[in-house]
């Protein structure tokens, strides 16, 4: 039976999703160990995306095959009982044998969350914080307490469509790969302000939907937009970046604000 699971997790204390050599705690390693113990199997998990260290998920999708016929709701409840509090199975369903969490996906959406204003210890774990009055971090001084949504959106609009995103990734994963395809199709990219009734902080979400993403692509894109605004780089100049043949030089937004939001099949 091929089981498809939708899971959410707080990635703060994990070294990413994927099992890695010499790394004890990843989301996948915890999930696999619990499923193996529960059902006396040695399962191979297939994931839709390999989120990095510190990145969260609202709708990560995994699937696995086991020779057991288990009611999906029973499986969900059983796994959740043994999982730590920062990982949760949201849905379980039985799917066709040819379903593959990664290769069957038509698109995926990432969301990046930012808050401004005074430091809020209850937001820091899940949002990137910027306070324009804190000049100790010159690297991120470009943000203001009130982000110009219309201006920001003009830069995001440039991303839409099929482009070579070689500039918007980190090269360490690809430098040994010949003829790497850096083309990706971005279906939507938008920024919006979120109503916040609990405190005085302003909350902003940036969502990007595409058919696929390169290594750290979302965080590099957002950092590049902010840098462009800070350095008075026009939208037309920003657009020319797509024609660049250079890799981005390790300029990324922090991981804590990034979420894998959803997959569509």
For residue 120, give the CATH number of its domain. 3.30.70.660
Instruction: Give me the catalytic one of 10, 13, 52, 157.
Output: 52
Residues 29 and 122 in one domain: no
CA distance 26 to 164: 31
Q: Does residue 179 fall inside a structural domain?
A: yes
Residues 114 and 214 in one domain: yes
Comparing 38-47, 56-65, 194-203, 204-213, the range with the smallest average pLDDT is: 194-203
Residues 35 and 57 in one domain: yes
Inform me whether the pLDDT recorded for 256 exceeds 60: yes
Q: What is the pTM of this model?
A: 0.90
Q: Does residue 102 fall inside a structural domain?
A: no
**What pLDDT is recorded for position 174?**
65
What kind and span of H or E run contains 36? helix 27-39
The H-assigned helical ranges of 61-133 are 72-82
Give the residue from 74, 95, 116 where a domain finishes. Answer: 95
Q: Does residue 63 fall inside a structural domain?
A: yes
Q: Which residues constitute the domain of residue 186?
A: 107-264
Instruction: List phi, psi (to 5°) of 42.
Output: -125, 85
**What pLDDT is recorded for position 260?**
98
The total of structural domains in the chain comes to: 2
Comparing 60-64, 68-72, 114-118, 188-192, the range with the smallest average pLDDT is: 114-118
Give the residue from 95, 119, 154 where a domain finishes. Answer: 95
Q: Does residue 130 fall inside a structural domain?
A: yes
Residues 30 and 72 in one domain: yes
Q: Does residue 220 fall inside a structural domain?
A: yes
| Residues written for the chain | 265
**What pLDDT is recorded for position 131?**
62
Q: 86 catalytic, yes or no?
A: no
Residues 243 and 195 in one domain: yes
**What pLDDT is recorded for position 117?**
81
Per 3-state DSSP, the chain is made up of helix, strand and coil in percentages (nearest 5) of 30, 30, 45
Q: Grade residue 227 by pLDDT with cuts at 50, 70 and 90.
A: confident
CB 262 within 8 A of CB 59: yes
Residues 112 and 89 in one domain: no
**What pLDDT is recorded for position 230?**
82
For residue 46, give the CATH number of its domain. 3.30.70.580
Q: Does residue 195 fall inside a structural domain?
A: yes
CA distance 48 to 200: 36
Taking CA atoms, 34 is separated from 6, 83, 166, in Å, by 16, 7, 38
């Amino acid at each position: 039976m091929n089981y498809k699971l939708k899971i959410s997790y707080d990635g703060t204390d994990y070294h990413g999703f994927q099992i890695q050599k010499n790394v004890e705690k990843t989301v996948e390693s915890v999930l696999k160990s619990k499923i193996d113990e529960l059902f006396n199997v040695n399962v191979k998990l297939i994931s839709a995306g390999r989120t990095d260290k510190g990145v969260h998920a609202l709708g990560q999708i995994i699937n696995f095959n086991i020779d057991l016929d288990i009611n999906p709701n029973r499986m969900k409840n059983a796994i959740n009982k043994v999982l730590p509090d920062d990982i949760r199975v949201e849905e379980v369903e039985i799917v066709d044998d040819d379903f593959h969490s990664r290769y069957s996906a038509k698109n995926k959406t990432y969301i990046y969350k930012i808050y401004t204003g005074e430091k809020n210890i209850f937001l820091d774990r899940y949002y990137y914080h910027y306070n324009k009055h804190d000049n100790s971090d010159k690297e991120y001084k470009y943000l203001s307490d009130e982000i110009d949504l219309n201006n920001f959106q003009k830069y995001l609009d440039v991303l839409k469509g099929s482009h070579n995103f070689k500039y918007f990734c980190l090269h360490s994963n690809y430098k040994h790969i010949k003829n790497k395809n850096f083309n990706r199709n971005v279906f939507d990219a938008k920024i919006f302000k979120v109503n916040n009734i609990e405190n005085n902080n302003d909350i902003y979400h940036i969502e990007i939907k595409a058919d696929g993403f390169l290594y750290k692509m979302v965080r590099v894109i957002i950092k590049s937009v902010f840098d462009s605004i800070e350095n008075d780089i026009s939208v037309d100049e920003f657009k020319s970046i797509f024609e660049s043949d250079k890799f981005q030089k390790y300029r990324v937004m922090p991981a804590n604000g990034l979420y894998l939001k959803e997959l569509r099949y």
